[in-house]
């Protein structure tokens, strides 16, 4: 996509989308008035990447590396993505989970420069005007949070902005979505975090969170303003508390192009892991029973998508839901409980209370357990050994993140199951050797889903996002896992090939969008080639 260059040398160097830094050629320096503003000998992009690598090697912590890359993104966007895309497996844990969690916690103390839009509830009635301050007229993707449920860390107020920024960086790094089409937004409705409210450096509103009708009216004003300013934009909801996330998605999913990554993206990446895991366990999806630790919007989202995926394979939806059993802080999710929300009730069962999760494992004999509790160490030795006693190859998915919130580590899962676990986690764990075998733990990261979904939406100009699109995405990711990956315990494609995996998934999703009649453009003869041609490449364009 062509970008018009600012008029003066100083402006060129200060616009991250046009700045090439030391890579401006001698001709460009003369024509743009840059002579004297840079060291005299031009660099290549490859030299610049090597220079950044050298800087990163001399930084002691991942948070320090996060800040270095954040500063780079603010001054030279092409170089930033050239670095990330040169080794995505290395840099994804730095620009996103787990490092982004620490960055969000310390946001107010490490703030460097503004990125995206901050919309406080005190601006109600003026959101349309505030959106007009963003200088890009063709925004296609908005990732928005209200900061209440950041990863497994809770309410971080405006500090949650690190999540939309990180997610959109991965849209580009992992699927080639052009960065100029992306906009991170934080809705500031206050915070319940007392430490933040008392922190003199806190950058958000110093008030308790707005709730109820006033909150939903603010959300509605935001959605309507986005539709008016950028009618082609897809809104991705991120890290909202489940009691807001579920009704927001229900309100808008059939009206605009929108989805919730915590509910639908998490569900799709879990389903992708299950499709790949079943190639190891040799069973059919409809023959499985899954026990969840956690019963929030992520758990019910995964359970519902699993159930929907079982229906084409022969089960009716009620029977499929009975194969996904939920257990949370209140115990087993049963019809006798009085504390269930509407989105939990379809998964409630008739059963006496069960005293512990380990006991629930022994009673229900699940083929897989899925952790979305955000409470660490709950998949303890008793739980893992119970799963291993029931199953030859127990499926163990501790999906809570960041790493500090994982229900168990990879080492624990493999050690306590005598190396028989089929394992994937929400945050990364390094390769390890257990019982004489080498394992490469898979990371069930939503990064396998949402960038591909974004590219498919961009390519098709989709008007809606459906659950069936996420099932297609899950299958597309799973079909790229090769036998040699499965042999070492890896049930997701290697993150080193995430761009290839994402573009393949985007192709499959786009096919489905055209089949559903939800595309806003004509179906090209070669969908895969069309998508590939649209993908952003981190190379410098020619200046006039």
pLDDT digits (tens, 9 = 90+) for 391-440: 999 999 999 988 889 999 999 999 999 999 999 999 889 999 988 899 99
Burial letters for 162-195: b for 16+ Cβ neighbours within 10 Å, e otherwise? bbbbbbbbbbbbbbbbbbbbbbbbbbbbbbebee
pLDDT of residue 386: 98
CATH 1.10.10.10 fits 94-256, yes or no: no
pLDDT of residue 98: 87
pLDDT digits (tens, 9 = 90+) for 146-202: 999 998 899 999 999 999 999 999 999 999 999 999 999 999 999 999 999 999 999
pLDDT of residue 97: 86
Phi, psi dihedrals of residue 540, rounded to the nearest 5°: -80, 135
pLDDT of residue 137: 94
pLDDT of residue 127: 98
Q: Are 81 and 176 in contact (CB under 8 A)?
A: no
pLDDT digits (tens, 9 = 90+) for 65-102: 999 999 999 999 999 999 999 999 999 999 998 899 99
The three-class DSSP label of residue 259 is strand
Question: What number is the average pLDDT over the span 464-493?
Answer: 96
pLDDT of residue 152: 80
What are the residue numbers of the active site?
Answer: 96, 167
The edge-to-edge listing of strands for the beta sheet with 324-328 is: 331-332, 324-328, 290-293, 368-371, 395-398, 422-425, 442-443
Q: Dig out the tokens for 205 from the structure.
A: 């509103």
Q: Are 242 and 250 in contact (CB under 8 A)?
A: no
pLDDT of residue 1: 44
pLDDT of residue 543: 54
Question: What number is the average pLDDT over the span 23-40?
Answer: 94
9-93 and 94-256: same fold? no
Is residue 402 reached through a cis peptide bond, with omega within 30 degrees of 0 on the bond before it? Answer: yes
Q: Are 304 and 318 in contact (CB under 8 A)?
A: no
Q: Is the pLDDT of residue 6 over 70?
A: no
pLDDT of residue 544: 44
Instruction: Calculate Rg over the CA atoms of the chain.
Output: 23
Mean pLDDT for the chain?
95
CATH code of the region 264-447: 3.40.50.720
Q: Count of alpha carbons within 13 Å of 394, Cβ hemisphere only?
A: 29
DSSP E strands, 25-181: 117-120, 141-145
Q: Are 77 and 17 in contact (CB under 8 A)?
A: yes
Beta-bridged to residue 236, according to DSSP, are 143, 259
pLDDT of residue 194: 96
How remote is the C-alpha of 461 from its chain's centroid?
A: 21
CATH fold of 9-93 reads Hemocyanin, N-terminal domain (1.20.1370)
pLDDT digits (tens, 9 = 90+) for 350-402: 999 998 999 999 999 999 999 999 899 999 999 999 999 999 999 999 999 88
Confidence of residue 542 (pLDDT cuts 50, 70, 90): low
User: In percent, how much of the chain has pLDDT > 90?
Assistant: 92
Q: What CA–CA distance (Å, rounded) separates 197 from 209?
A: 11
Q: Where are the domains of the chain?
A: 9-93, 94-256, 264-447
Question: What number is the average pLDDT over the span 435-456?
Answer: 94
Q: Dig out the tokens for 18 from the structure.
A: 């046009």
């Amino acid at each position: 996509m062509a970008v018009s260059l600012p008029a003066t040398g100083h402006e060129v160097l200060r616009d991250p989308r046009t700045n090439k830094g030391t890579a401006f050629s001698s001709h460009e320096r003369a024509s743009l008035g840059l002579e004297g503003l840079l060291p005299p000998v031009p660099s290549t992009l490859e030299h610049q990447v090597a220079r950044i690598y050298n800087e990163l090697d001399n930084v002691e912590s991942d948070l320090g590396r996060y800040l270095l890359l954040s500063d780079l993104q603010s001054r030279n966007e092409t170089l930033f993505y050239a670095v990330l895309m040169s080794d995505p497996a290395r840099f994804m844990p730095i620009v996103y989970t787990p490092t982004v969690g620490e960055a969000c916690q310390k946001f107010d103390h490490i703030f460097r420069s503004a990125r995206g839009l901050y919309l406080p509830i005190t601006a109600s009635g003026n959101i349309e005007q505030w959106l007009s301050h963003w200088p890009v007229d063709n925004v296609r993707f908005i990732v928005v949070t209200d900061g209440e449920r950041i990863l497994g860390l809770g309410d971080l107020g405006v500090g949650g902005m690190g999540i939309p920024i990180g997610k959109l960086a991965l849209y580009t790094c992992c699927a080639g979505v052009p960065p100029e089409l992306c906009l991170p937004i934080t809705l500031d409705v206050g915070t319940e975090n007392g430490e933040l409210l008392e922190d003199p450096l806190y950058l958000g509103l110093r008030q308790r969170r707005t709730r109820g009708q006033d909150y939903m009216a603010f959300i509605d004003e935001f959605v309507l303003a986005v539709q008016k300013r950028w009618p082609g934009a897809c809104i991705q909801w991120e890290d909202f508390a489940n009691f807001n996330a579920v009704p927001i998605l229900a309100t808008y999913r059939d009206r605009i192009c929108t989805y919730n990554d915590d509910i639908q993206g998490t569900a799709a990446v879990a389903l992708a892991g299950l499709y790949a895991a079943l190639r190891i366990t040799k069973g059919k999806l409809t023959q499985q029973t899954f026990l969840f630790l956690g019963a929030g919007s992520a758990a019910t989202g995964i359970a519902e998508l699993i159930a929907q995926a079982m229906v084409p394979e022969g089960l009716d939806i009620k029977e499929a839901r009975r194969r996904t059993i939920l257990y949370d802080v209140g115990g087993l999710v049963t019809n006798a409980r009085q504390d269930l929300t509407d989105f939990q009730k379809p998964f409630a069962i008739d059963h006496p209370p069960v005293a512990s999760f380990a006991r629930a494992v022994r009673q229900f004999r699940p083929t897989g357990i899925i952790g979305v509790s955000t409470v660490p160490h709950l998949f303890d030795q008793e739980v893992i050994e119970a799963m291993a006693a029931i199953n030859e190859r127990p499926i163990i998915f501790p999906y809570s993140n960041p790493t500090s919130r994982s229900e168990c580590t990879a080492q624990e899962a493999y050690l306590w199951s005598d190396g028989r676990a089929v394992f994937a986690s929400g945050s990364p764990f390094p390769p390890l050797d257990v019982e004489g075998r080498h394992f490469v733990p898979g990371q069930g990261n939503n990064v396998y889903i949402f960038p591909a979904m974004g590219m498919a939406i961009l390519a098709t100009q989709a008007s809606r996002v459906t659950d069936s699109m996420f099932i297609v995405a899950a299958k597309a990711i799973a079909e790229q896992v090769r036998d040699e990956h499965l042999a070492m315990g890896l049930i997701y494609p290697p993150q080193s090939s995430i761009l290839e995996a994402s573009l393949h998934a985007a192709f499959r999703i786009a096919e489905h969008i055209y089949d559903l009649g939800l595309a806003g453009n004509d179906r090209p003869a070669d969908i895969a080639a069309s998508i590939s041609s649209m993908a952003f490449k981190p190379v410098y364009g020619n200046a006039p």
